[in-house]
Amino acid sequence: MRRRPPDFRRPARRRLSNAFWWTLCFVAVLLFVFILTKGPQIESTRPVLARRSYRHEGIMEGLNITEEMLNPSSIARQLSDQISLAKAFVVIAKESSNLQFAWELSAQIRNSQILLSSAATRRAPLQITEAETAIRDMALLLYQAQQLHYDSATMIMRLKAKIQTLDEQMSSVSDKSSKYGQIAAEEVPKSLYCLGVRLTTEWFKNLNLQKKLSEEKQIDMKLKDNDLYHFCVFSDNILATSVVVNSTALNSKNPDRIVFHLVTDEVNYAAMKAWFSMNNFRRVTVDVQMFEDFSWLNASYVPVLKQLQDSDTQNYYFSGNGGDSRTPIKFRNPKYLSMLNHLRFYIPEVFPALKKVVFLDDDVVVQRDVSGLFSIDLNGNVNGAVETCMETFHRYHKYLNYSHPLIREHFDPDACGWAFGMNVFDLVEWRKRNVTGIYHYWQEKNVDRTLWKLGTLPPGLLTFYGLTEPLDPSWHVLGLGYTNVDSQLIEKGAVLHFNGNSKPWLKIGIEKYKPLWEKYVDYTHPLLQSCNFH
């Protein structure tokens, strides 16, 4: 048989296979030796790390433990465990009216604590001989507690029931506090009601007050002069509005250049006219109007007016019949149904001749010259306001319903909120950008109250989104009507805002902030004295 040439012969498989297996065995032996040499080192490090972690000085100090208590046979730890369990049983015994047993447990707890204290003082571990009696006596009491069904499961169930009861009581008290606080905030004090009645009577019987309006031509010129400083306040509170005007006048460098535009309702119109006619505020010009005279203010133009006249809306706010459950009392505040509260979105219509105006709420105090507000560059924006996003609850997502697609698609949930109460409005830009039309759009979208629930701030955040210029925080300091405010902020603040229920003219006002407001009230005025203002 002919043999194949060398190039076509089969390779020596046996020879190659033997070399491969010898190499593999050699590598396996080396790996086994490596594991044997490194394994003990790896295992030996584990208890060391554990010991180091337990013996860390900071941890021991934080847990208030000693070296002896870490010992598996520690007498001190056994006593501490008994004390912890006994304290829980004391609570259960008292709840079960077993006062005698609770007293016995408490006495034994004190004995065990004395032993632990003594050992800690002498810096020596407790010995079984000195603690044996205490441990035995406590064990007997704990066993007796178990016989009385003071076991862990019963204890947990009773404590849960107690916690639930306390939560219900706290919730009830909180609801009552909120309700009574809201009622107190909404009530008109007798003194304010008295002042309104007396001023109305004075206006109609005293012709001299009405004769002062003979200077109307000169006043009309100032009301339209855009070189002056124009402020507007929408309010039915005579005294609060007076404080705004008086504080602004007293702290102004040029009070004769200040013009106040006051808008009230028909009920308070005569009283407001009488008060500002009989009092002089350092030559500050004051004009009073009532919104019922605005011919453009009708349901066909103003969506919110149509909504406020709707019976379903009134039932929602006052009767609580709308929705799945009774409406919270905070939603049933009459100010949310007052047109005076919504006029801030119609400032260009109220004052058609003005180019720039500073809007002030009636619960503010001006404590320094604020003419600088009129020279602030708003950089093409419409609204100048102080941002309030220092706290997370002042961001957009806390005011608006971001489960609604319209809100979610158009507004950043982490955008900064800002405050109504002291705002600089560029009315030229307002008209150019049709801001009132934007407000109408969102107000109509919220007819079912799914975008926001209450107030004028949420629609304001939507309306002026991307049109608000942040101002220096010292221009407007908030919170004096519901929280503690840093005294340095108050001292530096130009406008102090008593936003919240605790208004300074109410008995529930925060006492330490009342003097900031009261110093602008002349309590010697005959009408204030006759109405028992003090």
Q: What is the pLDDT of residue 491?
A: 95
Same domain flag for 132 and 211: no
Q: Do residue 462 and residue 352 come from a single domain?
A: yes
Q: Is the dihedral of CA 249, 253, 256, 262 positive or negative?
A: negative
The packing angle between helices 266-278 and 190-205, to 10°, is 70
Identify whether residues 133 and 204 lie together within a single domain.
Answer: no
The verdict on residue 4 lying in a domain is no
Q: Are residues 99 and 196 in the same domain?
A: no
In a domain, 25, yes or no: no
Single-letter amino acid code for the residue at 330: K
CA angle 211, 213, 218 (to 5 degrees): 135
Query: Could you tell me if 260 and 351 lie in one domain?
Result: yes
Distance CA 281, CA 291 (A): 24
Q: Is residue 491 part of a domain?
A: yes
Total Cβ atoms within 10 A of residue 97:
8
Three-state DSSP class for residue 188: coil
Residues 137, 207, single domain; the answer is no
Count of domains forming the chain: 2
Handedness of CA 177, 183, 185, 191 (dihedral sign): negative
Q: Which of 150, 171, 200 is the last residue of a domain?
A: 150
| Residue of 244, 265, 423, 278 whose CA lies nearest to 345 | 423
Report yes or no: 525 and 197 within 8 Å, Cβ to Cβ: no
Q: For 312-467, where are the E strands, in sequence order?
A: 356-360, 364-366, 383-385, 422-426
In a domain, 42, yes or no: no
Q: Minimal CA–CA distance to 230: which of 348, 335, 341, 368?
A: 348
Please report whether residue 434 resides in a domain.
yes
Locus of tokens 């309590």: 523
Shared domain for 425 and 371, answered yes or no, is: yes
**The pairing of beta strand 383-385 with beta strand 422-426:** antiparallel
In this structure, the answer to whether residues 420 and 501 fall within a common structural domain is yes
Same domain? 392 vs 441: yes
Sign of the dihedral through C-alpha 382, 388, 392, 397: negative
Query: Is there a domain that residue 290 lies in?
Result: yes
Q: Are residues 132 and 221 in the same domain?
A: no
The reply to whether 226 and 89 lie within a common domain is no
Strand ranges for 134-264 from DSSP E: 229-234, 258-264
- Which amino acid makes up residue 354? L
Residue type at 180 in one-letter notation: Y
Report pTM: 0.68
Q: Quote the pLDDT of residue 70.
A: 65
Picking from 150, 178, 202, the residue at the C-terminal end of a domain is: 150
Residue 480, SS3 per DSSP: coil
Assign residue 450 the CATH number of its domain.
Answer: 3.90.550.10
Q: Which of 131, 150, 169 is the last residue of a domain?
A: 150
Grouping H, G, I as helix, E, B as strand and the rest as coil, residue 170 is helix
3-state SS, residue 146: helix
Which residues make Cβ contacts (< 8 Å) with residue 469, sequence separation at least 6? 376, 378, 379, 381, 383, 384, 385
Domain assignment present for 180: no
Give the range of the structural domain holding residue 333, as residue numbers without chain letter. 190-530
Dist. CA 344–CA 291, nearest whole Å: 12
Q: What are the distances in angstroms from CA 34 to CA 20, 23, 25, 28, 46?
A: 22, 17, 14, 10, 19
Domain for residue 53, yes or no?
A: no
Tens-digit pLDDT string for the chain (534 aa): 444 444 444 444 444 456 666 666 666 666 665 665 555 454 444 444 344 444 455 544 554 555 666 666 788 888 888 898 888 888 878 877 888 988 999 999 999 989 888 888 887 888 888 888 999 999 998 888 877 766 666 667 767 777 888 888 787 777 666 665 555 555 668 888 899 999 999 999 888 777 765 555 568 889 999 999 999 999 999 999 999 999 999 999 999 999 999 999 999 999 999 999 999 899 999 999 999 999 999 989 998 888 777 777 666 666 655 554 555 555 555 566 788 999 999 999 999 999 999 999 999 999 999 999 999 999 999 999 999 987 656 899 989 999 999 999 999 999 999 999 999 999 999 999 999 999 999 999 998 889 988 788 999 999 999 999 999 999 999 999 988 999 999 999 999 999 988 899 998 889 999 999 999 999 999 999 999 988
Joined together, the tokens standing for residue 70 give: 């870490």
Same domain, 235 and 364: yes
Sheet holding 495-497, edge to edge: 364-366, 495-497, 476-477
